[in-house]
Structure 1
Amino acid sequence: MTISTHSALLTRIVDDLAEQGWSLQPWFAPQTLTLELAEECRKRAAQGELTPASIGRGTGQEIREGVRGDRIQWLDAGLAPACDQYLALMDGLRQALNRELYLGLEEYECHFALYPPGAFYQKHLDRFRDDDRRAVSAVFYLNPDWQPEQGGALRLYLADATTRDVPPEAGSLLVFLSADMPHEVLPATRERLSLTGWFRRRGDNPL
């Protein structure tokens, strides 16, 4: 089954990025797909396929749970039908961003991210100092019935020196400019699931 994203939704995301550098859409994907992706993430975690995430890149990668405590698995085409449907949705968004904002995005990469209770990710930027290919970050949340007191928000540090806390509610998509938006993941009292990824362009310094 092919799932498409409504053009009005894509337009809202494009307009938000152009005006403020970030966009939050409460229902980016159908509820059935969201639940299937959550189940897929939990299944793979139970099978031991999610591994501790590292910080840095290349030979400088290291696992530091005092900085970042999630476990991840990268998505490839053919991993599961629900994953393929999600990747198709994101490719539609990539095309809209290129068409309207001329970003030259060539690909989308993403992974399942599972934060155990108490895990967090300290304040950071998604673009590496020596690699400018990540242009737009996108986080899709997979947590039904999330309650505010459970924590787990993604805190955005905005250009006007204020912050915005985004709860990880199932079905919502947060998109922001990778180079311009420091952010952190706050600890939660329950397991926190998401699909976290980046739209990438051809870099000036591909290493």
Structure 2
Amino acid sequence: MHTASSAQDEPNTHLSEELELRIGNDLFDQGWSQQDGFLSAGLSAALAEECRALMAAGALKKAGIGRGEEQTIRPDIRGDHIVWLRTGQSPACDSYLQLMDQLRLALNRSFFLGLEEYESHFAFYPPGTAYQTHLDRFRDDDKRTISAVIYLNEGWLPEHGGALRMHPEDKPAIEVLPLAGRLALFLSASMPHEVLPATRDRLSLAGWFRRRG
């Protein structure tokens, strides 16, 4: 497990065999995985700072539901603001994307999924906003295979709310608090999930490992 004690630490861009095995076993056994300390403290802090700066500059826009011409803004259903990441955007984003590409390769080794790319965006939830229960795979597009959420919130407490609530089939709901550096992975096509409202700003990186359609 990757941890760091200072925001000045070098970012981790390599996954250990132990972590790869743990993630693979989790996804195979239960369809989801939670890994704490996936991001170093330094990388998490740098990404959080970048997310806040982009939000303050107006670069993050209200997220919609649906696709293409059918996409609509429904704050009562989805309340986050987003901006998609691109290679070369910043050193912190490049380090994060490099780490996730290592994870893409690890998932291909474990499951022969043919994952070809990873797409990701910052997600900023102001206090009181949420995202109602949904699936990440579109009905007319089966490319999204594994969903990933990485949290960027230092000092998060249970009373702040804002959990990711997953709904596995025939099992009790699972709640994951958005603690800085924590990774949550789940199968895009079969894990209904929601984001609960929080009492403070909630920052994360949402992403999807995609295969050929």
Give the structure-1-normalised TM-score.
0.96
Residue ranges of structure 1 left out of the alignment (5+ in a row): none
In 1: Cα distance, 2:46 partner to 2:210 partner: 26
Helix, strand or coil at the partner of 2:153: coil
2:196: which partner in 1?
186
SS at match of 2:174: strand
Deviation at 1:15, TM superposition (A): 1.1
Distance 1:4 1:39 in 2: 23
- Residue of structure 2 in register with 1:115 after alignment: 125
Alignment-mate amino acid for residue 46 of structure 1: A
Residue 58 of structure 1 and its aligned partner are, at CA, apart by 1.4
1:41 aligns to what SS in structure 2?
Answer: helix
1:58 matched to 2:101? The reply is no
Percent of matched pairs sharing the same residue: 60
How does 1:32-181 map onto structure 2 within 5 Å?
A: 32-181=42-191
User: Counterparts of 1:164 and 1:13 in 2: how far apart (Å)?
Assistant: 17
1:6-32: CA deviations, max 9, x gaps?
221122111111111000001101110
Separation in structure 1 between the aligned mates of residue 95 and residue 85 of structure 2, nearest angstrom: 12
Structure 2 unaligned residues grouped into runs of 5+: 1-9
TM-score by length of 2: 0.93
- 4+ long deviations beyond 2 Å: none
Q: Tell whether the 8 Å contact from 1:5 to 1:29 is kept in structure 2 after alignment.
A: no
Q: Quick one: distance in 2 between partners of 1:113 and 1:3?
A: 22
CA distance in 1, matches of 2:15, 2:194: 28
CA-based RMSD of the aligned residues comes to 0.9
Q: Give the paired residue count.
A: 203
The one-letter code of the counterpart of 2:179 is E
For 1:135, the aligned partner's letter is T
Deviation at 1:172, TM superposition (A): 0.3
Give the distance between the partners of 2:193 and 2:59, measured in 1 at CA. 27
Report SS of the residue matched to 1:112. Answer: strand
* Amino acid aligned to 1:11: L
Cα distance in 2 for residues equivalent to 1:5 and 1:48: 34
- Equivalents in 1 of 2:56, 2:70: separation in Å? 29
Distance 1:99 1:150 in 2: 38
Q: Return the letter of the residue paired with 1:74.
A: W
**Which position in structure 1 is the counterpart of 2:17?**
7
